[in-house]
Amino acid sequence: MGSQYGATERVLDAHLAGKSYRETVSLLWGVEAVADWHPDDALHSRVRRRVASARALMKGGDRKRLPKA
């Protein structure tokens, strides 16, 4: 699987470990990515959507949620 799938796995791991969205972004995209963190910015939305997708996959979600190879 591609790097998108790996990132989705890492997001799920962070979420299940109780990490905040900000901590998750920092783990995946570096401390610089959260320097100007705002709850309503695009990066926050991106990680929220990735967490939602990861949770759906964990619960046996459909294959269309998997990134294309």
Q: Does residue 69 lie within any of the structural domains?
A: no
Q: Does residue 19 lie within any of the structural domains?
A: yes
Condensed to tens digits (0 to 9), the pLDDT of residues 36-61 reads 888 778 888 888 998 998 888 888 76
Q: pLDDT band at 62, cuts 50/70/90?
A: low
Q: Does residue 28 lie within any of the structural domains?
A: yes
Q: Which pLDDT score, from 0 to 100, does residue 17 have?
A: 95
- pTM comes to 0.72
Return the number of other C-beta atoms located less than 10 Å from residue 25's C-beta: 22
Average pLDDT estimate for 9-34: 89
Domain of 40, in residue numbers? 3-63
Q: Does residue 23 lie within any of the structural domains?
A: yes
Residue 47: burial class (beta carbons within 10 Å; 0-12, 13-18, 19+): buried
Listed in order, strand segments (DSSP E) in 1-69 are: none
Q: Does residue 68 lie within any of the structural domains?
A: no
Q: Does residue 41 lie within any of the structural domains?
A: yes
Q: How many domains does the chain have?
A: 1
